[in-house]
Amino acid sequence: MDDYSDEVALMQAQLDVQVARINLYTYAVQRQRARLRQQKKRRRRFWFRPWLGIERRRSFGLYDQLMVELRAEDHNSFCNFMRMPPDMFSEILRRVGPRITKKHTWFRAPIEPGMKLAITLRHLASGAKYMDMRYGWRVPHNTISKIVREVCGAIVDEYMNEVMAVPTSPEEWRVIADGFRTKWNFPHTLGALDGKHVAVRCPPKSGSTYFNYKKFFSIVLLALVDADYKIIWADIGGRGAASDAQIWNDSDLKEATESGEINHPPPDPLPNDTQSVDWFYIGDDAFGLRNFMQKPFSQRSLTREERIFNYRLSRARRVSENAFGILANRFQVMLTTMQHDPATVRLITTTCIVLHNLMRTRYPTMQNQLVDREDANHQLIPGAWRQDRHMEDCVTVQGPNTGNKEGKRLRNLIKHWVNSDAGEVSWQDNMI
């Protein structure tokens, strides 16, 4: 009998505990519902901050006030503010505007395409943070974030195939090579290859893969540049811990070059010569020496002929450094630490390159005062871009990127050509 009573008492105690838990849970649910009801009853102070309203935006914002004054009174200041002349701004707005125009609704008037374009270009030009830009443009920072991605995507979609198409025929490649031959006295060159670091905040859960040898987080911009400082191919988004050579070895351009899909011209003799040689890119010591990739001789124990070859090749290769200098000077967002996720950084970087190529096409002499020049004796005068901040170089990696037999043979042929009557220039002995 006692055992039965103890069992009943134990069961009653367990039941009481379960009832208490249920009551506690019910009370918590009721309190939560009460708080939600209270929150629904609480009226918002305002739907948007009054100083961000459309009327004040039109009365005091940069787009409707300052930009109108600059366009009417000071084109040079407008060009500095937007990094392009008013006519170029109008062209981009005309072509990109339909892609970024929103429908009017009863809820609220959409932001006009011109303001969207101006906000985006100013962000690219200055690298200002969205939280800072909202005060001058009178647009909320979260809206600016959406605007920049939308407009950048529209610019890339509209202009990419027009201003940044990789050549697909031997004739198109010959046009690039003719530019290097006439401007930089280096033949058979299909582009100068180089890489730069674009600083970013550390992406979530990325570990050290974006942490580069300069001790900051970045993505790598690897680009092929023509003789007029235009970027004709780019690999954007390589993780900062990778080198130029690693990114190049995994690139689609190298794969297409090795397979022959890129349609380089067939081997031809160098100017004033008879022996046929391949066409090639030029780069620094980071890249492996191949018949399609030429780089300088190692700096140790150089002969006179090798020093002259290095000078001639490096003179042509400077176009890539200067292209990056122009790019970063015009779009200084490239010099900041971008507070975006890697996908947005790639989009912004691509947009800057497209706009850079567009400006080099429409206004080829603009910003030429920034690039390296040569005096009457062909002595280098460093460009103004070198005096300012610029994107960091990628680390040079030695080891597996050694030259193969064909690459060495081609380099020796070019070395002999630049030191012969057929290919020498009158000032080269003074440069070594």
**Confidence tier at 403 by pLDDT (50, 70, 90):** low
Short-list 414, 419, 425, CA closest to 275: 414
147 with 177, same domain?
Answer: no
140 with 223, same domain?
Answer: no
Answer whether 220's CB lies under 8 Å from 247's CB: yes
pLDDT at 376: 77
Short-list 340, 326, 349, CA closest to 124: 349
**In the predicted model, is pLDDT for residue 407 greater than 50?**
yes
State pLDDT tens for residues 27-86: 888 888 888 777 666 565 555 677 777 788 888 889 989 999 999 999 999 999 999 999
Average pLDDT over residues 3-24: 78
Final residue of a structural domain among 162, 178, 206: 162
For 26, residues 6+ apart whose C-beta sits below 8 A from its C-beta are none
Which residue spans within 260-340 are E strands per DSSP?
A: 268-269, 276-277, 280-282, 293-294
- State percent of the chain over pLDDT 90: 54
Rounded Cα distance between 140 and 146, Å, is: 10
268 with 396, same domain?
Answer: yes
Final residue of a structural domain among 109, 130, 162: 162
97 with 207, same domain?
Answer: no
Rounded Cα distance between 39 and 41, Å, is: 5
149 with 187, same domain?
Answer: no
Rounded Cα distance between 231 and 375, Å, is: 26
Query: Is 27 part of any domain?
Result: no
Average pLDDT over residues 366-376: 76
Backbone φ and ψ for 198, nearest 5 degrees, come out as -110, 115
116 token code pair? 């969207």
Query: Is 149 part of any domain?
Result: yes
3-state secondary structure of 233: strand
136 with 240, same domain?
Answer: no
210 with 347, same domain?
Answer: yes
State pLDDT tens for residues 270-299: 988 888 899 999 998 888 899 999 999 988
Query: Is 34 part of any domain?
Result: no
**Confidence tier at 399 by pLDDT (50, 70, 90):** very low
Q: What is the dihedral of CA 247, 252, 254, 257, to 10 degrees?
A: -170
User: What residues make up the domain containing 177?
Assistant: 170-431
Rounded Cα distance between 345 and 210, Å, is: 13
- The CB density around residue 19, as the number of other CB atoms within 10 Å, is 10
129 with 200, same domain?
Answer: no
Q: Which long-range contacts (C-beta less than 8 Å, at least 24 apart) are formed by 209-213?
A: 209/239, 209/240, 209/241, 210/239, 210/240, 210/241, 210/342, 211/240, 211/241, 212/240, 212/241, 212/392, 212/394, 212/395, 213/395
Backbone φ and ψ for 61, nearest 5 degrees, come out as -75, 160
pLDDT at 22: 83
- The CB density around residue 367, as the number of other CB atoms within 10 Å, is 22
Half-sphere exposure of 162 (CA within 13 A, CB side): 14
**Confidence tier at 378 by pLDDT (50, 70, 90):** confident
Q: Which of 24-38, 97-111, 229-243, 358-372 has the highest mean pLDDT?
A: 229-243
Q: Which residues pair with 326 in a beta bridge?
A: none
* DSSP 8-state class, residue 291: T
Q: What is the mean pLDDT of the chain?
A: 87
Query: Is 28 part of any domain?
Result: no
> In the chain, what are the helix, strand and coil shares in percent, each to the nearest 5?
55, 10, 35
Residue found by looking up tokens 């690897």 in the block: 222
Query: Is 423 part of any domain?
Result: yes
Rounded Cα distance between 261 and 170, Å, is: 11
Q: Which residue has the higher pLDDT, 244 or 308?
A: 308
**In the predicted model, is pLDDT for residue 390 greater than 80?**
no
* DSSP 8-state class, residue 385: G
Query: Is 21 part of any domain?
Result: no
Final residue of a structural domain among 110, 127, 162: 162
200 with 336, same domain?
Answer: yes
pLDDT at 369: 75
Amino acid at 153: G
130 token code pair? 């969205």
Query: Is 35 part of any domain?
Result: no
- The CB density around residue 49, as the number of other CB atoms within 10 Å, is 12
127 with 274, same domain?
Answer: no
**Confidence tier at 318 by pLDDT (50, 70, 90):** very high
3-state secondary structure of 60: helix
Backbone φ and ψ for 123, nearest 5 degrees, come out as -65, -45
Query: Is 214 part of any domain?
Result: yes
Short-list 319, 292, 309, 272, CA closest to 190: 292
**In the predicted model, is pLDDT for residue 153 greater than 50?**
yes
pLDDT at 21: 84
143 with 204, same domain?
Answer: no
248 with 150, same domain?
Answer: no
Amino acid at 21: R
pLDDT at 377: 76
CA distances to 61, 108, 204, 239, 402 from 342, in Å: 31, 32, 10, 9, 32
Answer whether 377's CB lies under 8 Å from 430's CB: yes
Domain count, the chain: 2
Rounded Cα distance between 280 and 276, Å, is: 13
